[in-house]
Amino acid sequence: MHKLILALACCVTAAAHSAPYIPANGSQVVETVPRRGDPVQQEVRRLRSQLNANPTDIALAAMVARRYIALARNETDPRYLGYAQSALEPWWQQPAPPIEVRLLRATLLQSTHQFTPALADLKAVLAADPRNTQAWLTQATVQTVQGDYTAATASCAHVSGLTIELVAITCIANIGTVNGKAATSEQLLGLTLERSPNAPSELQVWALTLLAEMAQRRGDATTAEKRFRQALALSPRDSYLQAAYADLLLEQGRAADVLTLLQGLDRIDALLLRRALALQQAGQRSAMQADIRELAARFDAAGQRGDTVHQREQARFELQLRHDARTALALARKNWDVQKEPADIRIYLEAAVQARDSAKPVTDWIATHHTEDVAAARLLRQLPTGT
């Protein structure tokens, strides 16, 4: 069950690794290193040391890769995905590696938005092992991110006979929330979670996060906050959760609460972005400008590495902090070519509104799939006539 949840967790992580980046000068900060005394870090270093001594131990390599993938998810840190790939290096280039490695390779490929090779690996895994729940779930998530809801629904259907009810219902609800079945999906998932009190905490967090986002998209901030806080009580270090909850607080103008929530978490790019937005909202201009400079340096470094996975966050940075609607819209369009989640819809529309330009690919998508989101609906009304 732990490995199964891990695959789903990674699918919401926008992180990448690429060619090494060479700093312009010796004073430039490239990374802020986690505390070496952290017990999780100590355990991973111990396992990595064992793997260094026996690099072809496939069971140990898979274990190390999974630990790094979990760290990448929790810390939103792309380095860990590179470390995970390194652990699998003896098999990485093989056209048909062992199933366990192939599934992990698919997870890493989809984490870097390399969806086509990821789906090819998943298809091969499922051909060899049709009852591989994790592969079906990972495939469903990739298909949902791409907007292939019919295929995603079929993948979720395979899950229903392979694992507990909450997993299958959460898989289906993740699709229903973006294709015109939000109300039914939220009700069904909520009831299923209520009757699953003994489900693993990782699975409860997944369901609660989805339920919180559902409530937020229909404009029920009170229910959304309750669910976010329940999820954070189970997983307080989850950076995706922290960012999503911060977004809800920012929507309500609660900058002080955002700054409290994100205190000491600025090494994570997505959370630094939210802190800068909170500082802007609070009128703390000097601190905000410092964060803007830091974010600009990080996005520039990502660009030099060839990392384009963070285009959604960078579009938001350009739009809301630099107030450059044209650049933000260009980034949002590129991001839309890759992924089509509610947050991608929102930043595209917001940039188009401020740039007074077309958002036709998104407006057509919303009309076709009956996407339900009060923020998106508000932005649609603000678009220039004829777009």
Q: Is the pLDDT of residue 45 over 60?
A: yes
Q: Please give the tally of structural domains in the chain.
A: 2
pLDDT at 24: 37
Rounded average pLDDT over 127-137: 95
pLDDT, one tens digit per residue, over 232-272 is: 999 998 999 999 999 999 999 999 999 999 999 998 899 99
- Residues 135 and 107: their CA atoms lie apart, in Å, by 9
Q: How confident is the model at residue 164 (pLDDT cuts 50, 70, 90)?
A: very high
pLDDT level of residue 112 (50, 70, 90 thresholds): confident
Residue 167, in any domain of the structure? no
Residues 249/257, Cβ–Cβ less than 8 Å: yes
Last residue of a domain, one of 101, 132, 163: 132
Q: Is residue 128 part of a domain?
A: yes
How far, CA to CA in Å, does 129 sit from each of 17, 35, 261, 275? 29, 40, 43, 44
What pLDDT score was predicted for residue 386? 63
Q: Print the domain residue range for 353.
A: 316-387
Give CA separation, 143 vs 107, 206, 307, in Å. Answer: 13, 18, 22
How far apart, in whole angstroms, are the C-alpha atoms of residue 148 and residue 151?
Answer: 6
Q: Does residue 24 lie in a domain region?
A: no
DSSP-derived 3-state class of residue 335: helix
pLDDT for 325-338, tens place per residue? 999 999 999 999 99
Residue written as token pair 């993938």? 69
Identify the domain boundary among 84, 106, 132.
Answer: 132
Residue 310 lies in a domain: no
Per-residue pLDDT band for 303 (boundaries 50, 70, 90) equals confident
CA-based nearest residue to 292, from 278, 270, 308, 273: 273
Determine the Cα–Cα distance for residues 110 and 105; give it in Å rounded to an integer.
9
Within-domain flag for 141: no
Contacts 24+ apart (CB under 8 A), 33-39: 34/75, 34/267
Inside any domain, residue 56: yes
Q: Which of 187, 172, 146, 178 lies closest to 376, judged by CA? A: 178
pLDDT in tens, 165-220: 999 999 999 999 999 999 999 999 999 999 999 999 999 999 999 999 999 999 99
